[in-house]
Amino acid sequence: MKGFWNLTSTISLTLCTLFLFVYNYEDVYAVPTTHLCRPEQRDALLQFKNEFEVRNSSFPYNSSFSYKVKSESWANNTECCNWKGITCDPKSGEVIELDLSSRNLGGQLHSVSSLQTLNYLTTLDLSGNDFSGHIPSSIGDLSNLTFLDLSDNRFSGQIPSVIGNLSHLTHLVFQSNQISGQIPIALLNLTELSTLLLGNNQFTGRIPHNITSLSKLSSFDGSTNSFTGALPSSLFTLPSMDTVHLSDNQLNGILDLGNISSPPKLRVLYLGNNNLTGPISSTISKLINLGVLDLSHYKIQGPIDLRIFSHLKKLRHLDISYMSTTTKIDLNDILSLSCFKRLDGLVLSGNHVSVTNKSPVSDPPSQLLTDLYLSGCGITEFPEFIRPQNLQRLDLSNNKIKGKVPGSLWTLTYLYYLNLSNNSFTGFENATTHGLKFRIPMFLFASDNNFTGKIPSFICDLYVSMLDLSNNNFSGLIPRCINFKDFLFHLNLRQNRLHGGLPENIFENLRTLDVGHNQLTGNLPRSLIHSPYLEVLNVESNFFNDTFPFWLSSLPQLKVLVLRSNAFHGPMHTTSFPKLQIIDISHNHFNGALPSDYFVKWSAMSSLGTVYYQPDEKYMGNSYYHDSVVLMNKGLEMELLRILKIFRALDFSGNKFEGEIPSSIGLLKELHVLNLSNNAFTGLIPSSMGNLTALESLDLSQNQLSGEIPQELEELSFLSYMNFSHNQLVGLVPGGTQFRRQNCTSFEGNPGLSGPSLDEICRNIHMSTPHETLES
């Protein structure tokens, strides 16, 4: 019985203890289901909601929150502590965090004064949206903020000085906006700051030398701005400083690290792509905790002794590319230095690098190496000894390497970025690809070489996401084994001697397909309609014989369509291309008339919409690959090596179109280039062309157009090139400035044109004016 009572007592005690624990646990952590949010806080949040716009689902960020903001989540009669993005103190009910990051929000924030009611607000995160305009000065009234993030928006203007008021701030993040001006001195009063991120803006002026007043600063990013002057040496020796990122500015002078008495904590230092000159200070060897060092584009203008890095035993990534040094860097020697044995990333591009393959290396290079960049180093032979099994990225582009690509490359299990472009390679060694089918997707660049023969079949065994074999001498058929349905995103085979048709089975996930300047024949494969992600289709300068592919209008992402110089033929019926921004169907055999409403549904050329591109996403493509296109622009054939996402062009020249130019052409107000030359268009030039306010180049030459040149074209202030030659135009040539700057040849072949502006244009030409020539 004694044991029983002991057991009963133990159970009772345990239950009591458990009850008290649960009671106290709920008292501390449970959030009441009602009346936690104070009415004045709910009203303040709803008032703040009225300060911004909620974008539609086409905005590139997550749209889940915007739906809830518009409907049930932020509602007047609901508990605001349960609203998306709101965090309340579980006991007091005070709103302490407001996180609206990446929520499809936009517009101008004229004020955040409504948030002053939130007396305990410590976090405000509006990053990753589309806010524009100036940063509201009322943000300085949120005096309890410790975390403020406005990054990845379109804020402009200067940082308001009332930011000297947020004395509790520890994190201030303004990256990737359009903020200009100098760093306000008042910012240096934020002595609690540990993180200050200002990168990717438009800041100017000097970095304040008294930035050392921010004694707790551990991370400072001022990269990709226009800062000038010398680097404040004290910045590197702040007691808590861990990361300094100042690359891509206009900083000048020598790299002065000051008087370093004790080893700083600094681990990451980016100073690349500035205007720094002179020798690298030997005191850099005292930054013994450095793991990442970027001194690219440092203008040494003399020799460099790499032994100055010998004490940096923790160095993992070193970028000394494009250093303008007279020293020839021996790759074998640099990788044999003991201080580089821990390196996993080495960037030597743009320097004179020598490679010796004649004798075996007694002390092989680091097997930790994952990234090796040797672009533009004057290398003439493949560095045979560089085969660490961990290699992930290898760049040997823009060298003078001859012979065959070693087959051993394809045994490197982790290799996913290989750039061999712009060399003199002639072929590929027999490759062993055993075990490669389970690798991560690979980016393979081998353009601008001397490859001949058929495209090697082993490529079909690679897990290729990006394949660029352009500008070579490959012949034969496009291999049917290229069937990377799930992971081939970009395929560029232009400027080869490939023949036959396009395979049917390679298009499912393609973003880019460029097979221009080959000898391909037949029809465009209808299987292209199963390419929902296709953005760029370029088949120019082949022998395709087909009607216009109207069915491509079903592709929701198609932005660039180039059919130039083939044997396409037939009429162009009304169709819809809502995303198309560049179309070139010139030099084919299209015919017939274009209906007056032909361009009504070409939305992307009519309006840019509200979609916002981050500053580093201005061009089509991605961080590894940029789409390119060749267009007639301002009378010249121009290659756009990168395509701005806002660029718009339409080229229907060199066909057999007849009838009037559709009046709906005036809807395409975002067009930069319009070329309708060398057709059989008749009738008047539509006055609606005066609505093309972005137009820079207009070519209507070699048609049968009549009537006068519309006076409305005088309003096109960006129009710098125009050609009306060889038509049947009459009347006065408009007298606007852009007309008077044209060549006389832009109006020749129109006997009825006249007027003072034409006389002025042709005054100094040693021949008669166009109307005089044809009248004589």
632 Cβ contact partners less than 8 Å away, ≥ 6 residues apart:
586, 638, 651, 653, 673, 675, 699
Strand partners for 147: 123, 171
Per-residue CA distances from 611 to 57, 130, 592, 617 (Å)? 10, 8, 36, 12
Write down the pLDDT at residue 52: 83
Burial class (CB in 10 A: 0-12, 13-18, 19+), 84: middle
Dihedral of the CA atoms 552, 556, 560, 566 (nearest 10)? Answer: -10
Q: What is the DSSP secondary structure assignment for residue 657, as one 8-state letter?
A: E
Cβ proximity of 127 and 149 under 8 Å: yes
Q: What is the DSSP secondary structure assignment for residue 457, as one 8-state letter?
A: G
User: In whole angstroms, what is the distance from residue 608 CA to residue 502 CA?
Assistant: 33
User: In whole angstroms, what is the distance from residue 553 CA to residue 532 CA?
Assistant: 11
For 49, the token pair is 């909601």
32 Cβ contact partners less than 8 Å away, ≥ 6 residues apart:
none
Give backbone dihedrals phi and psi of 741, rounded to 5 degrees, phi first: -90, 0
For 300, the token pair is 């040494």
What's at 543, amino acid-wise? Answer: F
pLDDT digits (tens, 9 = 90+) for 228-237: 999 888 888 7
Cβ proximity of 258 and 236 under 8 Å: yes
Write down the pLDDT at residue 364: 54
Q: Which residue ranges in the chain fall short of pLDDT 50?
A: 1-33, 57-72, 361, 435, 437-438, 610, 766-776
Sign of CA dihedral 471, 477, 481, 484: positive
Give backbone dihedrals phi and psi of 227, rounded to 5 degrees, phi first: -65, 140
Burial class (CB in 10 A: 0-12, 13-18, 19+), 507: buried
Q: Three-state SS string across 225-258, please? A: CEEEECCCHHHHHCCCCCEEECCCCEEEECCCCC
Burial class (CB in 10 A: 0-12, 13-18, 19+), 607: exposed
Cβ proximity of 255 and 233 under 8 Å: no
User: In whole angstroms, what is the distance from residue 409 CA to residue 565 CA?
Assistant: 38
For 175, the token pair is 């990256």
Beta strands 105-108 and 53-54 are antiparallel
User: In whole angstroms, what is the distance from residue 280 CA to residue 277 CA?
Assistant: 8
User: In whole angstroms, what is the distance from residue 227 CA to residue 447 CA?
Assistant: 37
Question: HSE on the CB side for 350, CA within 13 Å?
Answer: 14
Identify the residue whose tokens are 């302490």: 96
Identify the residue whose tokens are 């020749």: 748
Give backbone dihedrals phi and psi of 166, rounded to 5 degrees, phi first: -85, 70
What's at 17, amino acid-wise? Answer: T
Cβ proximity of 489 and 465 under 8 Å: yes
User: In whole angstroms, what is the distance from residue 84 CA to residue 89 CA?
Assistant: 15
Burial class (CB in 10 A: 0-12, 13-18, 19+), 327: middle
Helices (H) and strands (E) in the chain, counts: 8, 53
Radius of gyration over every alpha carbon of the chain, rounded to an integer in angstroms: 32
